[in-house]
Amino acid sequence: MGRFLLVRNPTFGYFWVARLVSYSGSAVTFAALVLYVYESEGSGVSVGLLLLAESLPRLLGPLAGTLADRTEGRRFMILCDLGQAALIGSITLFLPPFPVLISLVAGASTLSTLFFPAGRSAVPDLVPDDDLTKANALLGSAANLSFALGPAAGATLFALIGARGALAFDTLTFLVSALLLSRLPALPPSGEVRARAFLRESREGMLYVVRHRLVRGAILGLFLGVTFLALDGVALVFLARESLGSGEAGYGLLASAHGIGMILGPLLLLRRSVRSTPVSIILLGLALEGMATLSTGLAPFLALAMFFRGAGGVGNGLENVAADTLLQKAVPRAMLGRVFGIYFGGVFLAEGLGYAVGGPLLELISPRAVFVVSGCGTLATVLLVWWLLSSSPD
């Protein structure tokens, strides 16, 4: 069973606990920093700049992937954790002026971006091929649990012990993560690392994605799916307050329902009876998200909307795990960091595009109609992904 993977493979267990600890600390810090900037600066512009500093470095994913393919993975991930501990620790100690704080947050986000492709590329080296889906499901559950509970924990810590206390917790999690990662075996780059131009290797990663039908179809399809699904992120608070008349509490319940669904989705893949291929799970996840989003827009009352949001979260969790597994199985180890970097950067670009379109769209149509557009666009993406991937070997 998948739940025993952590016991029978203690090396992967160290990696999983390291990611759980790090995810939790980052989620706490995100909430605490938003509250701190809101209180200290008192403007929406300042909060927006904080969010921008946290999100913009994610677009460096393709370059981060190239670096991951050229370096020894264990040392690289440990250095990323120690660097984030130093940057968040500096904020903890000094609570610097706003421009300096923004720079430190951007630096920490850059190191997190560098870690991502290295971490995803390490999984095939830590577990056998037959355990990849279960390993990714466990990692997805850890991330989703942290994202669902971390903001509430961060707000609570901020109220109880202030910004410094919450940030000190995050600093400690990075140090614990680095210690756990030191228990991993060496993770050398696959193949010969040649002295070639860095940007040339990044270009090779892009060309690989363009030429590989299965990888190209998966990344393009997920990019479009995320773009459509991001539309409802803008409209959710308006749906809760205006269409459903449930106020701020309703908004929180709808957001939490999706987060709980994202936790449950990967857990379903830990069942021994699951034998579906990554392609079929991606299609199922996208279809479930599309139907759930469409149904949320049409739901007449809050409880039903929460149910559909939870179902959409399950689909999102399934899709994320399946995408990781598909890329790990389809892409050569020497190219895996670059492909994950491109995928990672594309997801954040798609979210930004969806948010950018969602705002003006909400000015033209109702919140319910935005959800309908989001759901229908996602369902159309399912057909495109099926067409792109159905003729490719899985």
Distance CA 121, CA 125 (A): 8
Q: Where are the domains of the chain?
A: 1-193, 198-394
Asked if domains 1-193 and 198-394 share a fold, the reply is: yes
Sorted by sequence, the CB contacts under 8 Å of residue 300 that are 6+ apart come out as none
**Which portions of the chain are predicted below pLDDT 50?**
195, 393-394
Per-residue model confidence as pLDDT tens digits over 279-325: 899 999 999 999 999 999 999 999 999 999 999 999 999 999 999 99
- Which residue shows structure tokens 């000094």? 94
Q: Which is it for the CA torsion 115, 330, 15, 193, positive or negative? A: negative
The superfamily CATH assigns to domain 1-193 is MFS general substrate transporter like domains (1.20.1250.20)
Joined tokens for residue 264: 């449950």
Confidence (pLDDT) at 394: 45
Distance CA 73, CA 50 (A): 30
Do the Cβ atoms of 296 and 310 come closer than 8 Å?
A: no
Residue 45, CB half-sphere, CA atoms under 13 Å: how many?
2
Confidence (pLDDT) at 196: 57
198-394, CATH topology level: Growth Hormone; Chain: A; (1.20.1250)
Distance CA 384, CA 371 (A): 20
Q: Which of 220, 319, 228 is nearest to 266 (CA)?
A: 319
